[in-house]
Amino acid sequence: MPSETPIKSNMIFKLSNQRSPQEVNLKSLEWAVVTQLNGEKTVGQIGEILSLSDNEVLQIFSNLLDEGLLEYVRAENSDDAPSPAFINRLERRFKMYVGPIADIIINDTLTELKTSRQYLEKSQIPFFVEILSLQISSQKKRIQFQKDMLNEIKEMFNGR
């Protein structure tokens, strides 16, 4: 099953405890990447160490992720990611407008955007909110949700 997670050069991975590299038929470059995984080096740093092109390193990491060998640790410069508290506020507020199906709508929307809560970036939030707001049938409530979230977004970008 191919990964829906876009690999970025600032991401940091470690070997997963769920599956061992010995269980998979890895190519030599994939083994070279596996030996570099320590939960501290970024995808880009590993690519530089191994003299891989951007496309090569991204493809190898995608393959390793698809095989279940990687566990995401964090992104360097995690300023690009909204805080979990922000995501929780967004979810609670959206539930006020659409009810208990909010989680399903949020998950489906993230899937359509080819991302997840874990990999959602701040720059995607306005578009994400706009798409979610389209699921609110009442125009008055939709506008109120957008206004509420605009204030949350402003606070998030101002370093709250």
E-only strand ranges, the chain: 11-15, 70-75
Instruction: Tell me: do 89 and 72 sit in the same domain.
Output: no
User: Per the domain annotation, does 5 fall within a domain?
Assistant: no
* Structural domain containing residue 67: 11-76
- Residues 11 and 75: beta-carbon distance below 8 Å: yes
Structure tokens, 17? 């405890």
Instruction: Tell me: do 92 and 40 sit in the same domain.
Output: no
Q: Please name the residues in contact with 17: beta carbons below 8 A apart, sequence gap of 6 or more.
A: 71
Work out how many domains the chain is built from and give that number: 2
Instruction: Tell me: do 47 and 103 sit in the same domain.
Output: no
Backbone φ and ψ for 125, nearest 5 degrees, come out as -60, -50
Instruction: Tell me: do 71 and 118 sit in the same domain.
Output: no
Average pLDDT of adjacent 10-residue blocks, the chain of 160 residues: 65 87 89 91 90 91 91 70 81 94 92 77 87 95 95 77
**pLDDT at residue number 37:** 92
**pLDDT at residue number 136:** 95
In terms of Cβ atoms closer than 10 Å to its own Cβ (0-12, 13-18, 19+), residue 149 is buried
- Domain boundary residue, one of 60, 76, 92: 76
DSSP code per residue over 128-144 = HHHHHHTT---HHHHHH
**pLDDT at residue number 69:** 92
Of the candidates 81, 93, 70, which has an alpha carbon nearest to the alpha carbon of residue 16? 70
**pLDDT at residue number 160:** 47
- Domain boundary residue, one of 76, 92, 107: 76
User: Per the domain annotation, does 1 fall within a domain?
Assistant: no
Instruction: Tell me: do 105 and 52 sit in the same domain.
Output: no
Instruction: Tell me: do 43 and 97 sit in the same domain.
Output: no
**pLDDT at residue number 20:** 85
Instruction: Tell me: do 90 and 153 sit in the same domain.
Output: yes
pTM value? 0.53
Instruction: Tell me: do 58 and 90 sit in the same domain.
Output: no
- Residues 117 and 87: beta-carbon distance below 8 Å: yes
User: Per the domain annotation, does 2 fall within a domain?
Assistant: no
User: Per the domain annotation, does 23 fall within a domain?
Assistant: yes
- Domain boundary residue, one of 58, 76, 94: 76
Structure tokens, 144? 């109120």
User: Per the domain annotation, does 117 fall within a domain?
Assistant: yes
